[in-house]
A and B are shown apart, each in its own frame.
Chain A
Amino acid sequence: MDNSRIVEIWVGVFVAIGLGALFLLAMQVSNLAEFREQKTGYRLRAHFSNIGTLKVRSPVKIAGVTVGRVAAIHLDPEQYQAVVEMRIQPQYKLPDDSIASIYTSGLLGEQYVAIEAGGSPEFLEDGDEIEITQSALVLEELIGKFLVKATEESGPKE
Chain B
Amino acid sequence: MIDPLQRLGAASLNAFAKLGRANLFLALALTGVPEILRRPGLLIRQMYMVGVLSILLIALSGLFVGMVLGLQGYNVLSDFGAEESLGVMVAASLVRELGPVVTALLFSGRAGSALTAEIGLMKATEQLSGMEMMAVDPMKRVITPRLFAGILSMPLLAGLFTYIGIYGGYFVGVLLLGVDEGSFWSQMQAAIDFREDIINSVIKSLAFGVIVTWIAVFEGYDAVPTSEGVSRATTRSVVYSAFAVLGSDFILTALMFGE
Contact = CB atoms under 8 A, between A and B. Distances in A.
Interface residues of A, number: 25
Interface stretch (A12-20, A45-53, A82-90, A124-132): A12-20
B194 A32 contact: yes
Interface of A is mostly: helix
Given A17-B156, A17-B160, A29 B47 contact: no
A22 B202 contact: yes
A29 B52 contact: no
Contact of A31 (B45, B159, B189, B202): B189
Interface stretch (A3-11, A72-80, A133-141, A145-153): A3-11
B207 interface: no
Q: How large is the interface on B (under 10, 10 to 19, 20 to 34, 35 or more residues)?
A: 20 to 34
A21 B160 contact: yes
A2 to B, nearest CB: 12
Interface string A14-47: 1101110110111011111111000000000000
Contacts of A34: 189
B67 to A, nearest CB: 17
B55 A29 contact: no
A17 B45 CA distance: 18
Interface in B167-221: 185, 188-190, 192-194, 197-198, 201-202
B155 interface: yes
Interface of B is mostly: helix
A30 B192 CA distance: 5
A14 B52 contact: yes
A21 B156 contact: yes
| From A31, A33, A35, residue with most partner B Cβ within 10 Å | A31
B69 interface: no
Given A11-B51, A31-B190, A18 B95 contact: no
B159 A14 contact: no
Nearest to A32: B194
B156 A18 contact: yes
B95 A29 contact: yes
A18 B155 contact: yes
B242 interface: no
A18 B159 contact: yes
B91 interface: yes
Nearest to B201: A25
| From A19, A28, A35, residue with most partner B Cβ within 10 Å | A28
A4 B48 CA distance: 10
Contacts of A28: 185, 189
Interface string B130-157: 0000000000000000000000010111
A21 B214 CA distance: 25
A151 B95 CA distance: 51
B157 A18 contact: yes
Contacts of A8: 44
Contacts of A17: 55, 156, 160
Contact of B155 (A22, A26, A30): A22
Contacts of A19: 156, 159
Contacts of A13: 52
A11 B201 CA distance: 23
Contacts of B153: 14, 18
Q: Which 4 A-B pairs rank lowest in CB-CB distance, beginning with the nearest?
A: A18-B156, A22-B159, A21-B163, A21-B159
Interface of A: 4, 7-8, 10-11, 13-15, 17-19, 21-22, 24-26, 28-35, 57
Interface of B: 41, 44-45, 47-48, 51-52, 55, 91, 95, 153, 155-157, 159-160, 162-164, 166, 185, 188-190, 192-194, 197-198, 201-202
Given A21-B162, A22-B202, A29-B166, 8 more contacts: A11-B47, A11-B51, A17-B55, A21-B164, A24-B163, A31-B190, A31-B193, A33-B189
